Amino acid sequence: MITTRAVIAAMFCLTVLPAASSLDLRVGLQSPPQKPADGQKPAKPNTDNPTQNAPDQPKWDPLRAERDLEVGQYYMKRGDYDAAIDRFTDAIDAKPGYAVPFKYLGEAQEKKGVKKKAIKSYQRYLDLVPHADDADKIRKKVEKLTKEVEKEDK
C-alpha cells in the first residue's frame, strides 16, 4: 500500500533534486567569477542586502504600540521611569497619532521630575483628544506643572 508520504517523497525526488543538480546549487560547484574583458571595468559586487538595508521594525505598527504601552505601564508600577519613558516613546514612534502614549509619557516624565517635557507630552495628548474624559484632570496637571516650572525659573 502506497502512503501519502511516499508519494510526496517521490514527487520531491523527481522534481526538486534534478533541478538542483542542473543548476549547480550544491556547495563548492558554483562557477568562479568571470574576469572582465580587456579594457572593461570589473563589475561592482552587489551590496544591496535586504536584511542590512531594511529598518529593524516597521514605522507603523499598532500592535507593537499596544505592547509597548503595556510594558511601559509595567515599568511605571515598578518605579523604573526611564524604561517606561523609553517604551512610551517607542509606542509613539510605532503609532504617532495615538494619544494614550502621550498621557502615560507625561506621567512618567512628571514622576521623574522632567516637568517641561511632561507639559509638552500632556499638551500633545490634549491636542489629539481635546474632549477626553480626563481632559480636565490633565489640564489641571498642566497648570500645576507650569506654575512649578515658573517658580523654578525665578
In the chain, where the domains are located: 62-153
C-alpha–C-alpha distance, residues 133 and 116, integer Å:
23
Greater model confidence, 33 or 127: 127
Q: Which three cell numbers stand for residue 62?
A: 499598532
Alpha carbon 66 to its chain centroid, in Å, reads: 12
Closest CA to 121 of 94, 101, 97, 91: 101
Is the pLDDT at 81 greater than 80, yes or no? Answer: yes
Point out the least confidently predicted range of 22-26, 128-132, 147-151. 22-26
Question: Model confidence at 35, in pLDDT bands (50, 70, 90)?
Answer: low
Indicate the pTM of the whole model: 0.63
Q: Residue 34: how many CB atoms within 10 A of its CB? A: 8
Whether residue 20 has pLDDT greater than 80: no
In what helix (H) or strand (E) does residue 64 lie, and over which residues does it extend? helix 62-78
Q: Is 150 left (phi over 0), alpha (psi -120 to 50) or beta?
A: alpha
| 52 CB-contact burial (10 Å; exposed 0-12 / middle 13-18 / buried 19+) | exposed
Number of Cβ within 10 Å of residue 21's Cβ equals 11
CATH fold label, 62-153? 1.25.40
Average pLDDT over residues 61-77: 95
pLDDT bin (cut points 50, 70, 90) of residue 59 is confident
Residue 95 cell numbers, joined: 503609532
